[in-house]
Amino acid sequence: MLSIFPRMFNAVLENGISARALHAGALAVRLWNPRDFTDDAHRTVDQRPYGGGAGMLMKPAPLAAAIDAARRVNDGPVVYLSPQGERLDQRMLDELARLPALILLAGRYEGIDERIVQSRVDREISLGDYVLAGGELAAMVVIEGVARLLPGVLGNQQSARQDSFSADSQPCPLLDCPHYTRPEVFEGRAVPAVLLSGNHGEIRRWRLMQALGRTSERRPELLAGLKLDRRQSELLKAYRRGKNFQSERGDD
Ligand code: 4H7
């Protein structure tokens, strides 16, 4: 991990699943600060852009030296987090989680000198079409997304985890169904009766219906990429019928 703000990573490395992955030895993160690879008294990592314009760039020499040092310790593809990158998705996280090592590069200022991209970056990844002040949060998204996929990380579901290491990590085909826990009634809202029925066939059916219905309402483009079988089409129709019924009653 290369960043001029290494302490930002405490947020993800000291908490939750990534912290557990670290302690379990399933994950190791080493932080490299380009500032430690400068040779002037001010430890300068930024420089004005050729051609003018607002803002500064990360100058190439400290980045090159930091990347090369990181590579000597743990060689792996260099991933640069930037808005110009390929969109991150679950399939990509799965791919990254299978690599023995990875060098994440977080840019600050207006980005890095293009010659570093050319000479040392293997893959440019973006979280999505929006702008952050630095690549650190994006890198942390990659760290947490990868950590939870590593074998031996999810204590209780360890074996399930390994089974699903490939299968479960394909791009999630559908959105998740709604979830409920105790109490049965909260602020006047009851848990759907089917979930209390003990009929596991009906519960599975209801959950799939909700997943299909919510996906068609919220992310129709995900559904367009799927080929629904007879049962799934019927469940989706039933969901829509239920919705129409509710809105006719005015309690949608
Ligand atoms: C590399 C190049 C990632 C990194 C430029 C990083 C969004 C994402 C950054 C920039 C990021 C993402 C510098 C471009 C600051 C915008 C105001 C850091 N933003 N920045 N500029 N979508 N910012 O994954």
Catalytic residue among 43, 71, 83, 214: 83
Reply yes or no on whether 110 is catalytic: yes
Whether the link from the prior residue into 183 is cis, omega within 30° of 0, is yes
pLDDT, the chain, mean: 93
Residue 158 has pLDDT above 60, yes or no: no
Would you say the CB of residue 135 lies under 6 angstroms from ligand 1?
A: yes
Asked if 129 and 82 touch (Cβ cutoff 8 Å), the reply is no
Ligand 1 near 111 CB (within 6 A): yes
Contacts of 171 (CB under 8 A, 6+ apart): 89, 90, 91
207 in Cβ contact with 180 (< 8 Å):
no
pLDDT of amino acid 169 = 40
Confidence label for 249 from pLDDT (cuts 50, 70 and 90) = low
Write the CA distances from 167 to 10, 12, 91, 149, 193, integer angstroms: 31, 26, 10, 12, 31
Cα separation, 230 vs 165, whole angstroms: 29
- Kindly state the average pLDDT of the residues 102-123: 98
Query: How far apart are the C-alpha atoms of 28 and 179, rounded to whole Å?
Result: 33
Lowest mean pLDDT among 4-18, 27-41, 97-111, 142-156: 142-156
175 vs 203: CA distance, rounded Å: 17
Concerning whether 83 is annotated as a catalytic residue, the answer is yes
The pLDDT score that the predictor gives to residue 82 is 98
How far apart are the CA of 50 and the centre of ligand 1, in A? 19
**Per-residue model confidence as pLDDT tens digits over 167-203:** 344 456 899 999 999 999 999 999 999 999 999 999 9
Distances (CA, A) of 155 to 12, 152, 160: 18, 7, 10
Q: Which of 46, 81, 116 to mutate to test the pocket of ligand 1 (most atoms within 8 A of CB)?
A: 81
pLDDT reported for residue 246:
81
Q: Is the CB of 131 under 6 A from ligand 1?
A: yes
Peptide bond preceding 192 in cis form (omega within 30 of 0): no
Does 34 qualify as catalytic in the annotation? no
Residue ranges of E strands in 130-190 = 185-186, 189-190
Q: What is the mean pLDDT of residues 219-234?
A: 97
Whether residue 14 has pLDDT greater than 70: yes
Q: What is the pLDDT of residues 26-84, one digit of tens each?
A: 999 999 999 999 999 999 999 999 999 999 999 999 999 999 999 999 999 999 999 99
* pLDDT value for 154: 80
Q: What whole-number percentage of the chain has pLDDT above 90?
A: 88
- Name which residue sits closest to atom 3 of ligand 1, judged by CA: 82
Residue 129 CA, closest ligand 1 atom number: 22
Residue nearest to atom 2 of ligand 1 (CA): 111
Judge if the beta carbon of residue 213 lies within 6 A of ligand 1: no
Quick: pLDDT tens for 16-42: 999 999 999 999 999 999 999 999 999
Q: How far apart are alpha carbons 224 and 113 in whole angstroms?
A: 40
Report whether residue 107 contacts ligand 1, using a CB cutoff of 6 Å: yes
- How many angstroms is it from 22 CA to the middle of ligand 1? 27
